[in-house]
A and B are shown apart, each in its own frame.
Chain A
Amino acid sequence: SAVISQKPSRDICQRGTSLTIQCQVDSQVTMMFWYRQQPGQSLTLIATANQGSEATYESGFVIDKFPISRPNLTFSTLTVSNMSPEDSSIYLCSVVLADRSYEQYFGPGTRLTVT
């Protein structure tokens, strides 16, 4: 398995501001993903973080709202821009390890509350 850390673990933000969430992995990974888990709901994929190129976004998610960077194999950031209360969610980073191509491992999540 892998040790995945996310920063911050939680935050309370005012509407209209932006928050950048970091994801760090201690192993070589092939793929990194960002998911959202809204209160009482399941996980929804936001985007695939591609190393050195633009992320691949799922339907309903756009780069202007959720810019993502992945400068190397083990680190990625997700920014939630111009936040509104509807962005209050848990944001999770997940990875596919280089030697375990069909298994995804999840970080502890970042609990975001927008007031």
Chain B
Amino acid sequence: AQSVSQHNHHVILSEAASLELGCNYSYGGTVNLFWYVQYPGQHLQLLLKYFSGDPLVKGIKGFEAEFIKSKFSFNLRKPSVQWSDTAEYFCAVKGGANNLFFGTGTRLTVIP
């Protein structure tokens, strides 16, 4: 069965600090992975995605994620966070019917 685990429930960082949010998945088929972001009061937006090819994918706003097949991981990174990155971040894996299975989310708070 498909599942996604996000280890960090709430992360608090100061501006300019580096960010890494963990995501591990369980899925037996072809892996398509996503990170979504939900800014306060806004709807879910696609941050980045991995389908195939280069395991290091770059998304919007300076975010990147690395797919490590041997570790079943797809961690999200950003070298220097900004206050505007304060949001909830969700990792997801695509199921066989194009539906998405989401992790529980990680709330990021960036302190100016």
Contact = CB atoms under 8 A, between A and B. Distances in A.
Interface in A33-85: 33, 41-45, 48, 56, 58
A109 B43 contact: yes
B26 to A, nearest CB: 15
B100 A45 contact: yes
User: Which bracket fits the contact residues of B?
Assistant: 20 to 34
B46 interface: yes
B99 interface: yes
Interface residue tally on A, bucketed by range: 20 to 34
A102 B32 contact: yes
Contacts, number: 48
A108 to B, nearest CB: 4
B56 to A, nearest CB: 18
A101 to B, nearest CB: 8
Contacts of A107: 43
Contact of A92 (B44, B49, B98): B44
B102 A105 contact: no
A-B pairs with lowest CB-CB distance, top 9: A106-B44, A108-B43, A43-B102, A42-B102, A42-B104, A45-B99, A42-B105, A31-B98, A106-B43
10 contacts: A33-B99, A33-B100, A56-B97, A92-B43, A96-B98, A102-B51, A103-B34, A103-B49, A104-B100, A106-B36
